[in-house]
Structure 1
Amino acid sequence: MTADQLSLTFSALADPTRRAILARLAGGEASVTELAAPFTMTLPAISKHLKVLERAQLISRGRDAQWRPCRLRAEPLQDAEEWIERYRLLWEERFDRLDDYLSEAQARGAKSPEDHHD
């Protein structure tokens, strides 16, 4: 995934309405009207959100006669997850080192006062 595609993905995911739309599409394709149903916004506003998702390649829109179903495209999400995973591993390593340090510090602090010879 290019940095530009990654930016498009994260930018699209930044909005809770778009995340809700993607969550709905994870259950299967839907029309614009079906996607708009849970929201208190106009169809044109939903269409703008769909255009952002489409530009980020997170959804595709088909054509079946008069029906234009929207479908989730998970590939960009997988790429974003892989990018995030690298940082999760980094933080896990840091937390493991911190845990080791705290365990050692606690063990040193648990020694009785007569064990300390200053």
Structure 2
Amino acid sequence: MLTGKTAKSIRRSFLDFFVERGHAEVPSAPLVPQNDPTLMFVNAGMVQFKDVFTGKDKRAYKRAASSQKCIRISGKHNDLENVGVTARHHTFFEMLGNFSFGDYFKE
């Protein structure tokens, strides 16, 4: 159970777990994407890695872990209408993620 855990301690435990397993800890990207005209706001942890996944960019690391700040207010992942209706819908949250770029036994 997560009794007594804070958001900060959960975030730290998550990132430490992956760093101990060879992932680079990558800071949250800005909420407004710098080079992506398809999004008004970052809405998922993978947004800062889109160019890596599509082969347009490479990083110095093959594995990454992050706690990405996200906003969802419209589009496919629109939580705005459900805010206040359920306890789990919010417009701003941090998405914990781990990513592999051509690693994990892939050729």
Structure 1 or 2, whichever has the larger Rg, is 1
TM-score, normalised to structure 2's length?
0.28
Structure in which a larger fraction of residues adopt strand: 2
TM-score, normalised to structure 1's length?
0.27
Structure in which a larger fraction of residues adopt helix: 1
